Structure 1
Amino acid sequence: MDFINHTPFPAQDFGGVDQHDQEFHVVALRQTLTWGESAVLTYAHKQLPLCEEDHHAGPPENSYVLQESDYCQYKPRCDVIVNATAYAPQGKPTRRFRVKLVVRRPNELSPVPPRPEGINQFVAPSVSQLSAWETEMRARTILPGEQLLSKQLDVCGERYFVRRFWPIRAVAAILQYATLGLMRLPGWRLTTPLPAVAVPVNKQYAFGGRSRVNTEDKAAGRIAQRHRLPADQIAAQPDGEGRAVAHVACAANPAGRGYVRQWLVDALRLSTVRAPQVSRPDYPVGLGDFTQGLRGKLDSKRASSLVADFGVRPKSHPERIALSGTVDESFANSAAWLPLDFDFAMWNAAEPDQQIDYLQGDEVIELTNLCAPGASGARSDEGGNTTLALALPENECHVLVRLVSGEMFLSPMQIDTLIVEPDQQLLHLVWRVVLAKSPSAPIRAVEARMYSFKERDRIRAEVDTLKQQLGDVWDARATLTGGVDHV
């Protein structure tokens, strides 16, 4: 199959295969957009290439993913990802403030009222009727577009879990012993947040983390045997990070903060632990979550609900791993490409509440307190919050598929990834289309094209006209070629 790219954007075709070993073609196209003072999205002069592999914020072993490879085979939904910094309203140091992400359909005018008619086709409507109709026309209002995604997060300045002084801890231990564990006094406290102007909204500032001590660390000798990894597991570790003698991570977010185990506190003699600075309003991180984590009793679902950001959900997340299907000895010994229960939703990288239906290409993205006051295109609302509204440019990508038989048809591509980087003034769209490999209708060539909505609507109107003109001939051709609309 030949692939021809008629657009100015990086695009590539590659192969895919499903759970039943059925092969298919994939075409992915990436667009890079930017904006200025008017907040109007335009295509950037430098178009970034397709992302060939997962892009980490730092060393892969101890950082988080900014974006995943564009060479995935299929995404059932659209990922909305925002890699941003939270800025306090009006740029004033604030202990706590809120940020918001909204994706919505464009606003529309209310419906046009029907024009009045006379008592019959020979009599014009009266002057008073026309005057009332004109008044109704002038009174048409703007109807807000449907919200496809709305997500808020709470952001605060630096704060810590601090160990209480030893006399208080001693009293707590005595009280717990005297009451047979019925009464407990916390040995830690959560400090009040310090004022902050800017806080990165990413996995490193959200709840999560890991407890790790390597064999060469001085603290390794203070790790009790019951917390150590088996000798064979230590020996089998790669040398990239050193070899861990003890290691436990929050599967939902290994890069975060606030999740540590008691053996690490004891080994490192910690008296303070960084607390998360980004949280969900409905799942605030509390002292109880920290102490449960110390004891290794924090429920995995609770831990997952505490992770808060607008970024990529790691592939190590238990819920993403479950979507990969059953990888057992039977599968390992088979020639199958994928487990039968593999779910392509595994390729959706955004958090579940940031996965929406495919975008159409004219949606509006609204950010609140996710760009600096005074940034290009930003505005200040009546509450002093910094807002940025970006409307997609009303273009649509297609592929023209030419079959070996000479037939050809248009297949629309879908936007399955939207990434916004406000600090860099960049917005990325990834379009994708999947085409079946059929021995009875082999594909000779695929051509990537882009049309404006007006051009698209004109082409559709011409095709509809052609259908009407051809009539039964069109229906017969469609039946012979599997029901696709040919042009």
Structure 2
Amino acid sequence: MDVENHSPFPHMVIEKATTKGRFFDVVIVAGSFTLAHGQPVLAMDEQMPIQCVDRYVGAPESTPFLEETHLVVGKQRTDVHVLGHARPVDGKPATHWPIGVRVGPLTKTAQVTGLRAWHWTPLRGWHLTKPEPTTAVPLHAGMAYGGAVRRARYRGPATDDIHDAQAFDTYQPNPVGRGYVGDAELDRAQFYLAPQIEDVQKPLRDIRERLAPVCFGPVPRWNPQRARHAGTYDDAWRAEHFPYLPPDFDFAFYQSAQPDLIANGWLKGNEPITLIGCDATGRIDTQLPDIQLLALLTDNNGLTQPVQMRLDTVTIDLDAQCVQLVWRRAVPKEWGLRKVMLAAIPAGPAQRGAEQPIHIHRGHSSPAEVANG
């Protein structure tokens, strides 16, 4: 594949299969930009690479999900991920503070706290301790409501080394969180960690209360939010469709953002960004860059067609003080893609809405009709 990249951003072209053995050439471009209050986001001198693997805090099976690979066939909408730590104003230790994120039409708010736990006393019963002052709270799922509790029959020296799924009562929406205690009898001498990110409108009030996790980073593939779109993998699939995706696979599976950080279509560039309570300045106001990616695609017959790359992932990294944008386009193999020419052009006026999604289906005759990205 011949690629001429006239943008300052790294690119990659990969091959991906979907249902019924249908293959796509997927063109991916990732651009990294500085993040600062009151200043336009500018392309970084040293660009971040395309993310080729999933990234976790530690072991994938037991620690929070931090960043998803960019190597997917496509998305039907723009995902917004917020990574890193929220920090109080001026960096001074605080017990709690509100945070908010706005990217174009998408908004999400929460409250973060310092370390706190459920504690039992004769006078108050189970109650939350006062949050400890802190200078940073991670915004990943490990700080949100959730967790896993070892079942009673698997406690003790004889069974402590058993780590199979049946040994734990797991809160499926977020197994790596904190605060979930299940239905087992509680040890009154023990402190039980409580979530440090919560919905301002629905604060935690009871140790047995079960809440929706509140976090800002990506959702892993095995999470029910995404797994329900994965399709049916049964004997019929194995006999007729293996190793490809099942016929009832829904491409919404590839949306990895929190539900309230998934756009209704694709963002386009120039959308406003507001971050509150996320760094020591207290507030960052800026906007997505005035850039869109254009691709000129040439097939085996020499036919060239311009297509707009889809901006399908926006990642705000608070610790690195940068914004990474991922543009993507999937071209059916039968189109015969031979050459790609990439260029960055002005996005135009700020967009308050977003382009409507196009659903993947069979029978595309040109890359302009390619769905999903």
TM-score scaled to structure 1, two decimals?
Answer: 0.65
The answer to whether the aligner puts 1:434 opposite 2:333 as a matched pair is: no
1:211–1:264 CA contact under 8 A, matched in 2: no
2:205 maps to which residue?
A: 286
1:324 maps to which residue?
A: 230
SS for the counterpart of 1:291 is coil
Partners of 1:35 and 1:291 in 2: how far apart?
40
The answer to whether the aligner puts 1:272 opposite 2:198 as a matched pair is: no
Q: How does 1:68-467 map to 2 (within 5 A)?
A: 68-104=68-104, 148-165=105-122, 187-212=125-150, 219-221=156-158, 246-261=167-182, 263=184, 265=186, 271-287=190-206, 290-291=207-208, 303=211, 305=212, 307-336=213-242, 337-356=244-263, 357-373=265-281, 386-438=282-334, 441-453=335-347
Deviations along 1:348-372, one digit per CA (max 9) or x if unpaired, are 1111110013111111211001012
Partners of 1:370 and 1:62 in 2: how far apart?
26
Deviation at 1:263, TM superposition (A): 4.8
CA shift in 2, pair 1:35/1:484, >3 Å? closer
Partners of 1:407 and 1:340 in 2: how far apart?
32
2:358 maps to which residue?
A: none
AA matched with 2:114? G
2:307–2:368 CA contact under 8 A, matched in 1: no
CA shift in 2, pair 1:402/1:97, >3 Å? same
Deviations along 1:189-246, one digit per CA (max 9) or x if unpaired, are 223334444322221211111124899x9824489xxxxx9xxxx6xxxxxxx66782
SS for the counterpart of 1:60 is coil
How many residues align? The count is 351
Partners of 1:71 and 1:414 in 2: how far apart?
14
Deviation at 1:321, TM superposition (A): 0.9
2:75–2:251 CA contact under 8 A, matched in 1: yes
CA shift in 2, pair 1:340/1:283, >3 Å? farther
1:54 maps to which residue?
A: 54
In terms of fraction of residues, the more helix-rich structure is 1
SS for the counterpart of 2:228 is helix
Gaps (5+ residues) in structure 1?
A: 105-147, 169-185, 224-228, 235-241, 293-297, 374-385, 455-480
Partners of 1:198 and 1:443 in 2: how far apart?
47
Deviations along 1:442-474, one digit per CA (max 9) or x if unpaired, are 3332222222347xxxxxxxxxxxxxxxxxxxx
Deviation at 1:90, TM superposition (A): 4.7
2:180–2:208 CA contact under 8 A, matched in 1: no
AA matched with 1:351? Q
AA matched with 1:256? G
SS for the counterpart of 1:353 is helix
SS for the counterpart of 1:61 is coil
CA shift in 2, pair 1:86/1:100, >3 Å? same
Gaps (5+ residues) in structure 2?
A: 349-364
Deviations along 1:412-459, one digit per CA (max 9) or x if unpaired, are 101111111122111111110112233xx53332222222347xxxxx
Partners of 2:227 and 2:83 in 1: how far apart?
23
Partners of 2:109 and 2:147 in 1: how far apart?
22
CA shift in 2, pair 1:270/1:327, >3 Å? farther
Partners of 1:483 and 1:340 in 2: how far apart?
22
Partners of 1:13 and 1:219 in 2: how far apart?
52
Partners of 1:483 and 1:448 in 2: how far apart?
15
Deviation at 1:387, TM superposition (A): 0.7
Aligned Cα root-mean-square deviation (Å):
3.0
Partners of 1:37 and 1:484 in 2: how far apart?
37
1:12–1:29 CA contact under 8 A, matched in 2: yes
Worse overlay, 150-159 or 361-370: 150-159
AA matched with 2:109? Q
CA shift in 2, pair 1:191/1:153, >3 Å? same
TM-score scaled to structure 2, two decimals?
Answer: 0.84
> Is the radius of gyration larger for structure 1 or structure 2?
1
Deviation at 1:8, TM superposition (A): 2.8
